[in-house]
Amino acid sequence: MAQQDSVSDLIKVIQKFCEERDWDQFHPPKDLAIGMSTEANELLDLFRFKTEAQIQEKMGSPEFKEKVSDELADVFFFVLRFAQMNQIDLGGALNKKLAKNAAKYPVETAKGSNKKYNE
């Protein structure tokens, strides 16, 4: 498969892949949301009970990095598929959310801080 760069290109690839397999019937919003959560938890499990030093060491391993990449790709698959099946413009949604976050977290109060906007 050729390298795909834009979100819309990736969505088309995912749509074709799923349509070829007749998977639309299995992808209502609930099941896609469950898939996102499940895959995100599989990613999280790779880091469970590891110290920061252990994680940094593991991230230097090509085998571990491939596991992380696979799980991250699974999460991304479900995000793209959810957007495709529910006609959500991910680029537009991200830009809108960034604008909301910019209002909640202005640079002058948020820079270098991990506090929530209401703290």
Q: Mean per-residue pLDDT for 75-104?
A: 96
pTM of the full predicted structure? Answer: 0.88
CATH of domain 8-110: 1.10.287.1080
Task: Express each pLDDT in 38-78 by its tens digit.
Answer: 999 999 999 999 999 999 999 999 999 999 999 999 999 99
Quote the tokens at residue 73.
């790709």
Domain ranges for the chain, please list them. 8-110
Burial class (CB in 10 A: 0-12, 13-18, 19+), 55: middle
